[in-house]
Structure 1
Amino acid sequence: MITTVTLNASIDKAYRIAQGLEVGSVMRVADAHDTAGGKGLNASRAVATCGEDVIATGFVGGHNGELLRSLLDADGIRHDFVTVANETRCCINVLDANGTSTEFLEPGREVTAADVAAVEDKVRELAGRSDVVTIDGSVPAGAGDDVYARLIGIVRETGKPVILDTSGKLLTESLCARPTMIKPNTDEIAAILGRKPSSLDEIVAAAREVREQHGVEIVVVSLGGDGAIMSCVDGEFRGTAPKIEVVNTVGSGDTLVGAFSVATARGLSLPERLRYAMACASANCLTPSTGNFELEVAERLRAQTTVERI
């Protein structure tokens, strides 16, 4: 079983409008779609698509929290959330006739120290029954910048691998707890090291430096359409996916995390974990939904994805 932790879950609302977005005007929505959102819930759908058992936890509250639970039920995702007093946030993505996406992202509403203690207990319980735990995304007000470090420590006490996918201070403040894997981009590498790598050689060296300095076992740096770099105990590797006609890149990083956790639970070698995860992330780019890719397509892409030692 894989557990995903999403402390700042949301109802993601996609609004499609038939014209260009006009500021100060009444805009009528042609089509609306609600999704249980947050990076960890996107990863949960990817895990389920891969055919593995997954359970989602984190904070939910109010009427939006009930809607989020029902949306996960419809997706076939098991969940065991901590219920909080404040409403779960909403995030709105307006997609206009020009193909432009405009997002309105609410902050997570405040949680209490008691809420945080409850989610720590929940993660401890679920980690003990899990093969892998992922901790994903941002956190609501009141959770604290060190909450992920504490959750990572709880998972590590159970002896289970823990994947951290976040950014900013949440990432830098959590490295002391030594997550098993992180997935920074070059901006996040810069926040950790104080310099931004530019060339491929610099990215490889930076990934190795982050791993060695902070005791992280696996550092995966996404290069977008140029693949990914992985630094691990076996060395440094570059993954290259086949060229595809992209439909939607939203959630491809979350899919990579979910699929990497699946490959970890299945005991694949480190290069094969990267190859499997990249193939699933590529398959996600071929569908309009997040995490609901076609597994057969992912398997075909996996055969065309290369991972080579640098």
Structure 2
Amino acid sequence: MITTVTLNASIDKAYRINMPLTKGTVMRVAECEDSAGGKGLNVARAIAANGEPVLATGFVGGNNGHYLCELVARDGIRERFVRVRNETRCCINVLEPGGGSTEFLEPGRPVDRAELEDMMSTLLELANQSDVVTMSGSVPVGAGTDVYQRLVRLVREAGKPVILDTSGDYLMQGIRALPTMVKPNIDEIGQLLNRKIEGIDEVVSAARELHERGVEIVVVSLGAAGAIMACDEGIFRGYAPKIQAINPVGAGDTMVGSFAVAIARGMKGSESLRFAMSCASASCLSPHTGRFDTQVADDLFKKTAVEIIA
């Protein structure tokens, strides 16, 4: 089983409108789609799409929390969320004709110390039952900037692999607990190493340095240019095939979920990178975030190239 952690879950609402968004006017929504949001839940959907058993945890509260759990169940994902006093947030994405997108992201409402301790004890129980744990995204008010450091350390002390995918201070502090894998972009790995990273050679050097500091798998996203991975087997560069993306939102989350699957299945080096990249590319061809056709991923796997560069 793979456990995904989404501390700042949300009800995501996609509003499709038939005209350009105009400030200060009444806008009629032509179509509305609700989904269980938060990066960790995108990860959970990708894991489920790959056919692996997955369980989602994190914080939910109020009527929105009940509804979010219903949406998770509709996705065929089991959950063990920690119920909290405050309401789960909502996030809105207004989609215009021609591809324009405007997002309104609510902050996560506060959690208190008792609720955070409940999360710690729940995750410890789940980690002991899991093959891999993933942690993704932002956190609600009150959780503290060291929350991922505490959670990563807890899972590592349980002897289980953990993937951390976050940013800013949460990543800076979380990496001190040496997660099994991180997936920064170029700017984020530069922040971690306190220097500006430019060019592939510097990306490779940065990934190697972070790996040598004790992070077993470092994957640096290069967007359409692929990815760099540093691990015990060496340093690899992956090249994704050219595609006409339909919905690139959540492709990074699909990569995280697919790496969790690869770790659970015992894949190594180039095989795991090639597998995760092909799933991420397939997710870009699906209109639904975090979902993809595994047959499409299998076809893209054959067109995804990975070479060892160091």
- Shift in Å, 1:212: 1.7
- Shift in Å, 1:102: 0.4
Between the two proteins, what is the percent identity of the paired residues? 62
* Aligned: 1:272 with 2:267: no
TM-score, normalised to structure 1's length?
A: 0.99
Q: What is the alpha-carbon distance in structure 1 between the residues aligned to residue 232 and residue 268 of structure 2?
A: 11
Counterpart code for 2:136: D
Counterpart code for 1:67: Y
Check the 8 A contact 1:19/1:98 in 2, yes or no: no
Aligned pairs for 1:184-199 within 5 A: 184-199=184-199
Q: CA offsets, 1:135-191, max 9 Å, x none?
A: 110100000011111111111111110000000000001111000000000111121
Which moved further from structure 2: 193-202 or 165-174?
193-202
- Shift in Å, 1:20: 0.3
- Shift in Å, 1:260: 0.5
3-state SS of the aligned residue for 2:220?
Answer: strand
Aligned pairs for 1:86-125 within 5 A: 86-125=86-125
Check the 8 A contact 1:284/1:290 in 2, yes or no: yes
Aligned pairs for 1:133-212 within 5 A: 133-212=133-212
Q: What is the alpha-carbon distance in structure 1 between the residues aligned to residue 269 and residue 263 of structure 2?
A: 8
Which moved further from structure 2: 89-98 or 12-21?
89-98
Q: CA offsets, 1:24-50, max 9 Å, x none?
A: 111110000000000000000000000
Partner of 1:69: 69
* Aligned: 1:18 with 2:18: yes
Check the 8 A contact 2:6/2:137 in 1, yes or no: yes
Partner of 2:245: 246
What is the number of residues matched between the two proteins?
309
- Shift in Å, 1:7: 0.3
Counterpart code for 1:282: S
3-state SS of the aligned residue for 1:173?
Answer: helix
Q: CA RMSD in A?
A: 0.7
Partner of 1:219: 218
Check the 8 A contact 1:256/1:278 in 2, yes or no: yes
Check the 8 A contact 1:255/1:280 in 2, yes or no: yes
Partner of 1:130: 130
Q: What is the alpha-carbon distance in structure 1 between the residues aligned to residue 197 and residue 132 of structure 2?
A: 30
3-state SS of the aligned residue for 1:18?
Answer: coil
Check the 8 A contact 1:108/1:141 in 2, yes or no: yes
Q: CA offsets, 1:259-307, max 9 Å, x none?
A: 0000110001121111110000000000110111000000111111111
Check the 8 A contact 2:128/2:158 in 1, yes or no: yes
3-state SS of the aligned residue for 2:109?
Answer: coil
3-state SS of the aligned residue for 1:236?
Answer: strand
- Shift in Å, 1:98: 3.1
Check the 8 A contact 2:234/2:269 in 1, yes or no: no
Q: What is the alpha-carbon distance in structure 2 between the residues aligned to residue 70 and residue 270 of structure 1?
A: 37
Q: What is the alpha-carbon distance in structure 2 between the residues aligned to residue 74 and residue 185 of structure 1?
A: 32
Counterpart code for 1:12: D
Q: CA offsets, 1:58-91, max 9 Å, x none?
A: 0000011011000011110000000001010011
- Shift in Å, 1:196: 2.1
3-state SS of the aligned residue for 1:303?
Answer: helix
Q: What is the alpha-carbon distance in structure 1 between the residues aligned to residue 60 and residue 40 of structure 2?
A: 13
Q: What is the alpha-carbon distance in structure 2 between the residues aligned to residue 20 and residue 290 of structure 1?
A: 23
Partner of 1:281: 280
Gaps of 5+ in 2: none
3-state SS of the aligned residue for 2:211?
Answer: helix
Q: What is the alpha-carbon distance in structure 2 between the residues aligned to residue 178 and residue 152 of structure 1?
A: 8
Could you list the runs of 4 or more consecutive aligned residues of structure 1 that deviate by over 4 angstroms after TM superposition? none
